Structure 1
Amino acid sequence: MSAGKQASLRRQLIVRMLAMMLPLFILLWVIAYFSSQYFINAAFDRSLIRRTYALADRVEVLQGQVQVDLPVAARELLVFDQEDLLFHSVVNPAGQVIDGEQDMPPLPAYQRIRPGQLILYDGVKDGERVRVAVFALSLKGTSARGTALVEVGETLSHRSAMADRATLAIVAPMLLMTLTAALAIAYGVGRGLEPLSRLRDRLSARKAFDLSPVPLEETPAELRPFLDEINSLLQRLSEAVESQSRFVADAAHQLRTPIAGIRAQAEAALASARQEDARHALERIAQSSETMGTLVQKLLILARVDAAENTLRLVRLDGVEVVREVAREWVPQALAKGVEIGFETRDSEAWVMGDAQLLHEMLSNLIDNALRYGGTRIGLMVHRSGHEVAWRVVDNGPGIPEAQRTAVFAPFHRLSGSVDGAGLGLTIVQRIAQLHGAQVRLQAGEGGVGLAVDVIFPAAPA
């Protein structure tokens, strides 16, 4: 992701918190709307019921006929409303309208009304939604029989307007509170992220090679794990830089010696008048050149191994075939030096995860060391045991004293009295083993004679 498209942590926090508040606001608005609708409808329904009962009180029976004794003032009061249209109807037991509207909205088909019962229902009159209360007035005890229906209805304009005003009265403060909370969240998030800004300023003010730990004072607890990891990384980086500096200094020192020797021998050969002295000087130059060439080669291999850490891709390899192939390549050199080299294994295959080229280089270094410092016999073995695969290179030479078996893995370390080699062979072996998750162990050879080098790999999954 490019720098211009990277999401801001501050923006993410604000957006996520507001995103959580928005559904809550909508839910509260819905609750407020339906609650106001419910209570306002209940209030208007009570008023409608009172008007219905009031009209029912004006119904009387004279000589078996149902009549409505409704004074003009009462009739005007019944139909008076500033916003809604009010209407009524009184129906005798024969189904005839004796007072009021002729076309009242019919009672829903699924409802049945019993004498003495009052029902509220919604309907449509003249294309407008209305609310109707119908009361079944029993005529029992009078000179008439049956039940008269008393109906009072009204349009819904007033109650809808009041519900909207009530909802607005609730939602407006809620919206204001939400906006205030959003501003408070934005301000709080900004203040909460100030430690990150201060940390950024401290890091940007550092010099390029300042690898000292980042101070943990005045940092929030949430940043401590993050800073601990940064300090751990800086410590490892500091150790790597220091190790690399020592290695470069040691490499420069190691290269300076053969170069100085070559120069001295070349000057001696030029100054000598005798052919024998010149030939001897040239032989020393050739020997020093070979030593320097070996050292340079080892340094290049070590640099390649270090660089492979970031690009290494391990594949499934048969360790038996890898060791057998490397042993076959070194047979001519071993025979030329009068050294017997052999290979044995009890397993037909021993799979490991590795890089074939690096494993070839590691095993070649072990064989090269055995040829240089070993005796007259070198043995290569492969053994699989449970979840491990072991490679062994053993010789019958002088071996390595137990007290020095850890130190020999350091770059340019040589045993006492040893001048041959570059002192990098076991360093390369250990670095390659570490890249493969393997361990290198040094111990005495068979019968306590010579040196046995074991490289223990985790077995590759089937």
Structure 2
Amino acid sequence: VQIGFGVVALLVYVSISPNDLPGNPLIGLLIMAIVAAALAHDRAVLLDVAGVLTLGIAGYLWHPDGTSSADRMVMAFSLVAAYVIIGWLLNYLRSQSRQARSRLQSLLASKDQFLATVSHELRTPVTTVVGLTSELRDHWADFTQAEREEFIGMVADSSAEVANLVEDLLVARSGDVDIVLRKRAVGLREAIESVLTEPMFADIHLSDCPQVSVVADPLRVRQVVRNLLTNAKRYGGPTIRMLATCSDAQAAIEVRDDGSPIPLEDRSGIFEPYHRSGMIDGVPGSLGLGLTVARRLAALMDGEVTYDHDGGESVFTFTLPIAAVPASAL
């Protein structure tokens, strides 16, 4: 299409009487722009050279009789300059178009990956709930009381897993004003231990925790701690431990594991939505929302979540302001 426009433009250019050209500068500039658009191909070097030579020679020769050499040179250089400038502009626009197309393809791929991951994350607990409840419905009398209680507990755990996933999705898509927080004085140890009682985290030990209270929403504190522990379970080392410290103004919950440190180039992005710094063989992909949600909820409770590596352990630290009310008063 561009070459076709260029040919038409050249035909129009040579069909205009040389005596008319000086009186029609806008027509001349328009023709130069179209010719440049037709010839400006970033990968066709020979075509670029031919375009420059053609425009330069045409600008110098196609003039009324009596035109000075200086005026001819001015016209020739003007045509070449127009070609270069417009060619650069078109190449820049092409480059932006390619980048936009690449970003769009990346977004589409991310969407497909997100849907696949959500499906995977939901499939296991939902299958467990459906399977166990169907067995209990159809064969209730065939099971002992202990078996029934075990099945019901597994259903409850799988249901809680789905609820936690949905809660993370809701936080990720909501604005800050839409997230409901009910702040009050919360016992720090009690909040942590309520998460450690969950079967998934039963093997994690809280090595140290002062008897203090923090100002926070207890449900959101548990959500943050749960996300940090889940992240450590998925991507951390085999040994995971927790401890808590406090200063005059704030308490800090640390989730530590002995896994490899996150690469420096990935650390700035680990709290971004849908970011995964690496995949581990045998570990299914996660949504990449846990750390994003944890940091966001911590900020809404006047705290923060940070990452560091002390040379031996990866450390995620969750800070919260200390309440004026002592824990013994709760």
Q: TM-score, normalized by length of structure 1? A: 0.34
**Which structure has the bigger radius of gyration?**
1
Q: TM-score, normalized by length of structure 2? A: 0.47
Higher relative contact order (CA 8 A, sep 6+): 2
